[in-house]
């Protein structure tokens, strides 16, 4: 486990979080001003970034591979984004053509690169992994539009895949699909072109440290580049069984039993669990599945105020649009039920349990009763609650989760999970289509990292639950008109607590996420800048991680977010493995109050 130094690395603007981690999924923005500077695209911030959240900041290894491909196959006026399969790349191309602000359709190409004949032959003999890549190439001015697909879908290639592919490309083992059978060598030279990334936010030139001493060293020393297919498959199987509740004790990959064991929900096995390269990918693909299996008729419903990209997916990718019920209240359910009674068709309802960042819990029982009666699907994102604290699958058709967060904990790998409810009335229809369209795009080395990281996730969650509850009990003493805090957002103290308790597991807690709304932005700034903690995007890390959520998630729409209770003075806190008393001390000092 990588534990960050609270005093040094995270006080350094732009440092990776965790420090010195090549594939880190967060970045240090240690002051409120730094977060604002990032959103404004200011050079003093962007020039110092050594990493970033992968869906927002394209990792340096991916940028470098894209530059190599552009220098060989494109012109200096073009840019590119990289995807693991031709299917995903062509979805990106279609999105760019549909959403481009250009007066005439831009020229958007897809370049498919595959392992050479020699690479395939060697891999078959030695049972090594292989990888293809599809580059979407477009005019540079279309980058903001293309980046929307990258961000919303979560289906771009990972940084580890990019490193692997670059070596394959430079050594001639990755070639154009059309020439795979005749070319034995790839390009032996390439020239520099003008920078295809520019200085746009989300496309900054980040630098990543080399030689991180964590699981990557283990994988490299033990397997080098000859990672076996069998080991990767066992890692994925272990993750799927862990998610399904099929492993009572976590252990080494090599010790995974071969037989499927059904535990937890009756009838649930690893066969109903699917892995994706990110949590957002699992949401995006759940939405795509509903369109494919249930038809493209009817709006989707976003119930409650969600993480920003979930709403964007429903709005931009649902042909009939989206109903947004941002409060997630009983009155909202009454309104939805009235629409259904009047004959309106709904394709699917998406919600979080509880929601990020307000920690509200929807009435899943009523929602699922309505869904069963009127024939729409329910997709629940349990990332914040996590499946050891809450049991939501009995009242959902699909449960999705970001495995990047507390399931991993180490903040050095992305991943997403997608689980079918085998008792759902839609199960057969959804499962049949899923089996036909599913592409396993989770890169094997990423799976190995995630499997290793998640072996102790049950113990970590128990500790995080306890520390968070201790801290929030302390903070609750300072809420009110005369207190330092205007509102504390935490399931235990929310009006929706009965809905949370209805789904809490026997040994579950309230999770590790909460938010604080201050009386004013200056109060929030003072607290944030004083707090001794890592500060950056993401959540569910093994160390406490804090961010000015509305600033980094809704910078261009803060007035709109405030209408739903997500104001500018909101600070989101993800509690790590530190003890509750230690955290109370840190927060007391930042608030300027006594313990």
Structural domain containing residue 254: 229-455
**Same domain for 70 and 89:** yes
Last residue of a domain, one of 455, 485, 518: 455
> By the 8 A CB rule, do 444 and 164 touch?
no
Residue 200 CA to its chain's centroid (Å): 22
* Residue 330 confidence class, pLDDT cut points 50, 70, 90: very high
* Residue 249 confidence class, pLDDT cut points 50, 70, 90: very low
Distance of alpha carbon 256 from alpha carbon 582, whole angstroms:
37
Please report, for the domain that includes residue 491, its CATH number.
Answer: 3.90.1150.10
Please report, for the domain that includes residue 131, its CATH number.
Answer: 3.30.300
Count of structural domains, the chain: 4
Q: Show the 3-state SS of 258-271.
A: CCCCCCCCCCCCHH
Mean pLDDT, rounded, for 69-91: 97
Order of strands across the sheet that contains 545-547: 485-489, 513-518, 570-574, 545-547, 534-535
- The full DSSP string for 222-265 is HHTT--BHHHHHHHHHHHHHHHHT--SS---GGG--SS----SS
**Same domain for 390 and 257:** yes
Question: CA torsion sign, 316 to 318 to 320 to 321?
Answer: negative
Domain membership flag for residue 262: yes
* Residue 318 confidence class, pLDDT cut points 50, 70, 90: very high
The owner of tokens 């990032």 is 38
pLDDT in tens, 544-594: 999 999 999 999 999 999 999 999 999 999 999 999 999 999 999 999 999
DSSP 8-state assignment for residue 388 = T
* Residue 265 confidence class, pLDDT cut points 50, 70, 90: low
Give the DSSP H or E segment for 299: strand 299-303
Residue 233's Cβ-count burial label (10 Å; 0-12, 13-18, 19+) is middle
The owner of tokens 């809490």 is 504
Question: Partners of 349 in the beta sheet?
Answer: 301, 378
Burial code of 424-454, b = ≥16 C-beta within 10 A, e = fewer? bebbeebbebbeeeeeebbbbbbbbbbbbbb
pLDDT(254) > 70: no
Distance of alpha carbon 335 from alpha carbon 329, whole angstroms:
10
- Which structure tokens are listed for 418? 């997608």
Q: SS3 breakdown of the chain: % helix, strand, coil, rounded to 5?
A: 45, 15, 40
Which residue intervals of 127-210 are DSSP H helices? 143-153, 159-170
Pair type for strands 322-325 and 346-352: unpaired
**Same domain for 461 and 451:** no
Distance of alpha carbon 562 from alpha carbon 551, whole angstroms:
11
**Same domain for 561 and 420:** no
The dihedrals phi and psi of 381, each to the nearest 5 degrees, come to -95, 110
Domain membership flag for residue 322: yes
The dihedrals phi and psi of 43, each to the nearest 5 degrees, come to -60, -35
The dihedrals phi and psi of 206, each to the nearest 5 degrees, come to -100, 155
pLDDT at 20: 86
Distance of alpha carbon 17 from alpha carbon 23, whole angstroms:
9
CA R_g for the chain = 23
Q: Residue 321's CB: how many other CB atoms inside 10 A?
A: 12
**Same domain for 461 and 574:** yes
**Same domain for 444 and 329:** yes
pLDDT in tens, 90-140: 999 999 999 999 999 999 999 999 999 999 998 888 788 899 999 999 999
**Same domain for 84 and 40:** no
pLDDT in tens, 491-502: 999 999 999 999
pLDDT in tens, 183-215: 333 333 333 333 333 334 444 444 444 434 444
Domain membership flag for residue 224: no
**Same domain for 278 and 330:** yes
**Same domain for 403 and 499:** no
Does this model's pTM top 0.85? My answer is yes
Domain membership flag for residue 196: no
- Which structure tokens are listed for 151? 């961000």
> By the 8 A CB rule, do 401 and 511 touch?
no
Residue 391 CA to its chain's centroid (Å): 21
pLDDT in tens, 279-313: 999 999 999 999 999 998 999 999 999 999 999 99
**Same domain for 238 and 153:** no
What does pLDDT average to over the chain?
89
Question: CA torsion sign, 419 to 296 to 302 to 328?
Answer: negative
> By the 8 A CB rule, do 245 and 265 touch?
yes
* Residue 51 confidence class, pLDDT cut points 50, 70, 90: confident
Question: Partners of 79 in the beta sheet?
Answer: 138
Distance of alpha carbon 78 from alpha carbon 194, whole angstroms:
10
Domain membership flag for residue 202: no
Pair type for strands 109-115 and 174-176: antiparallel
Domain membership flag for residue 189: no
Domain membership flag for residue 383: yes
> By the 8 A CB rule, do 191 and 91 touch?
no
**Same domain for 132 and 246:** no
**Same domain for 346 and 248:** yes
């Amino acid at each position: 486990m990588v534990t960050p130094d609270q005093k040094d690395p995270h006080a350094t603007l732009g440092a990776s979080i965790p420090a010195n981690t090549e594939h880190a999924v967060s970045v240090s923005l240690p002051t409120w001003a730094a977060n604002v500077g990032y959103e404004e695209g200011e050079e003093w911030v962007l020039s110092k970034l050594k990493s970033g959240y992968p869906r927002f900041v394209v990792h340096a290894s991916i940028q470098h591979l894209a530059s190599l491909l552009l220098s060989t196959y494109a012109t200096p006026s073009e840019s590119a984004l990289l995807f693991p399969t031709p299917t995903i790349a062509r979805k990106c191309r279609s999105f760019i053509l549909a959403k481009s602000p250009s007066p005439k359709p831009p020229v958007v190409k897809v370049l498919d690169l595959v392992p050479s004949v020699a690479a395939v032959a060697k891999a078959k003999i030695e049972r090594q992994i292989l990888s293809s890549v599809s580059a979407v190439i477009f005019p540079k001015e279309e980058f903001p539009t293309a980046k929307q697909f990258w961000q919303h879908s979560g289906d771009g290639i990972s940084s580890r895949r990019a490193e692997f592919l670059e070596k394959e490309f430079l050594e001639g083992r990755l070639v154009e699909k059309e020439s795979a059978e005749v070319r034995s060598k790839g390009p032996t030279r390439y020239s520099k072109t003008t920078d295809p990334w520019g200085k746009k936010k989300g496309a900054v030139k980040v630098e990543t440290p080399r030689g991180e001493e964590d699981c990557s060293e283990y994988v490299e020393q033990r397997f080098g580049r000859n990672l076996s297919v069998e080991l990767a498959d066992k890692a994925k199987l272990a993750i799927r069984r862990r998610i399904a509740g099929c492993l009572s004790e976590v252990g080494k990959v090599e010790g995974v039993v071969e037989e499927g064991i059904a535990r937890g929900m009756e009838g649930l096995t690893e066969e109903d669990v699917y892995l994706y390269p990110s949590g957002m990918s699992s949401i995006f693909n759940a939405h795509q599945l509903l369109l494919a299996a249930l038809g493209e008729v009817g709006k989707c419903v976003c119930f409650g105020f969600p993480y920003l990209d979930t709403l964007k997916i429903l709005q931009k990718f649902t042909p009939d649009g989206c109903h947004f019920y941002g409060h997630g209240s009983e009155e909202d359910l009454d309104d939805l039920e009235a629409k259904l009674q009047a004959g309106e068709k709904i394709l699917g309802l998406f919600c979080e349990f509880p929601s990020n960042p307000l920690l509200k819990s929807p009435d899943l029982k009523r929602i699922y009763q309505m869904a069963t009666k009127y024939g729409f699907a329910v997709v629940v994102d349990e990332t914040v609650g996590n499946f050891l604290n809450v049991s939501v699958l009995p009242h959902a058709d699909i449960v999705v989760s970001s495995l990047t967060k507390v399931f991993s904990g180490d903040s050095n790998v992305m991943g997403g999970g997608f689980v079918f409810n085998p008792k759902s009335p839609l199960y057969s229809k959804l499962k049949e289509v899923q089996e036909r369209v599913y592409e396993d795009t989770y890169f094997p080395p990423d799976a190995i990292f995630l499997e290793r990281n998640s072996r102790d996730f049950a113990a970590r969650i128990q500790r995080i639950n306890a520390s968070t509850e201790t801290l929030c009990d302390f903070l609750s003493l300072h809420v009110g008109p005369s207190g330092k805090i205007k509102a504390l957002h935490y399931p235990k103290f929310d009006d929706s607590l009965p809905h949370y308790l209805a789904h809490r597991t026997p040994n579950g807690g309230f999770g590790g996420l909460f938010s604080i709304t201050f009386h004013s932005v200056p109060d929030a700034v003072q607290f944030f800048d004083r707090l001794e903690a890592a500060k950056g995007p993401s959540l569910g890390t093994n160390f406490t991680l804090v961010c000015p959520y509305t600033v980094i998630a809704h910078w261009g729409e803060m007035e709109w977010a405030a209408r739903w209770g997500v104001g500018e003075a909101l600070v989101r806190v993800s509690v790590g493995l530190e003890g509750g008393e230690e955290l109370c001390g840190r927060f007391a000092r930042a608030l300027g109050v006594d313990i």
